[in-house]
Amino acid sequence: MSDLVNVTMTVNGTEVSHSIAPRITLADFLRQTLELTGTHTGCEMGVCGACLVILDGRVVHSCLTYAVQASGAAIETVEGLSERTAIADLQEAFHQRNALQCGFCTPGMLMTAHALLSQPGVPTREEIRDALSGNYCRCTGYEAIVDAIAKVARDRDAGVIAQASEEVGAWAC
């Protein structure tokens, strides 16, 4: 009797199938099996937001989700959003406003911001802060992060899409 289970899911648009231990988290599966290290593990209790991914259109803590629960699902990671330039304007705004310091929380912040900005309307600064309430940052004080997201929200609403500079790709994940 094998201790492994087969999982198949679509990660960043590519179908993947693996045999894995049934209790491996989605975060560990993404990081260790698929080598997608943009999904960070911080608290491993669903508190810090470093592990956020989009699972079937919902932002979830991948540290609290077993990979087997994601079998058959579509997963988007920060690498996938970055590769298809869905967050290029957010990355550029974070870069321009120094909305990152150590960078550990940045992928989770970008995932949260992407989900927020995918909803209709322009969020207020208070709505941005509320959306970020599940993301913990020890370095920035959040002001620059809120500034960056607010700028992108206004720009997108006005039809202005910023292009990422060459150096942004180096720190995207």
- What mean pLDDT do residues 73-96 have? 96
Q: Same domain, yes or no, for 22 and 72?
A: yes
Which residue is it, tokens 């920060």?
78
Instruction: Decide: helix, strand or coil at residue 144.
Output: helix
Q: Which of 55, 81, 107 is the last residue of a domain?
A: 81
Mean pLDDT of the chain: 92
Q: What is the rounded distance in angstroms from the CA atom of residue 130 to the CA atom of residue 128?
A: 5
DSSP alpha helix (H) spans, the chain: 26-28, 78-83, 88-96, 106-117, 125-131, 143-157, 168-171
Q: Same domain, yes or no, for 45 and 94?
A: no
Q: Same domain, yes or no, for 96 and 77?
A: no
Q: Same domain, yes or no, for 102 and 63?
A: no
**What is the pLDDT, as a whole number, of residue 173?**
46
CATH of the domain at 47: 3.10.20.30
Q: Count of domains in the chain?
A: 2
Residue type, position 76, single letter? E
pLDDT bracket for residue 100 (50, 70, 90): confident
Q: How many CB atoms lie within 10 A of CB 124?
A: 11
Q: What proportions of the chain, in percent to the nearest 5, are helix, strand and coil?
A: 40, 15, 45
The larger pLDDT score, comparing residue 171 to residue 32, is at: 32
pLDDT bracket for residue 134 (50, 70, 90): very high
Q: Same domain, yes or no, for 72 and 103?
A: no
Over 70: is that where the pLDDT of 73 sits? yes
The larger pLDDT score, comparing residue 157 to residue 101, is at: 157
Q: Same domain, yes or no, for 50 and 16?
A: yes
In total, the chain counts a number of residues equal to 173
Q: Same domain, yes or no, for 91 and 77?
A: no
pLDDT bracket for residue 86 (50, 70, 90): very high
- Domain membership of residue 170 (yes or no) is no
pLDDT digits (tens, 9 = 90+) for 142-151: 999 999 999 9
CATH of the domain at 102: 1.10.150.120
Q: Which of 26-30, 53-57, 116-120, 167-171 has the lowest mean pLDDT?
A: 167-171
Q: By residue range, what is the domain housing residue 124?
A: 86-162
Q: Measured in Å, how far apart are the chain's first and last C-alpha atoms? A: 39
Q: Same domain, yes or no, for 76 and 107?
A: no
Over 80: is that where the pLDDT of 59 sits? yes
Two tokens at 63?
């540290």
Long-range pairs of 139-143 with CB within 8 A, sequence gap ≥ 24: 139/100, 139/101, 139/102, 139/105, 140/98, 140/99, 140/100, 140/101
Q: Same domain, yes or no, for 74 and 141?
A: no
Q: Which of 38, 60, 81 is the last residue of a domain?
A: 81
Q: Which of 67-76, 122-131, 158-167 has the lowest mean pLDDT?
A: 158-167
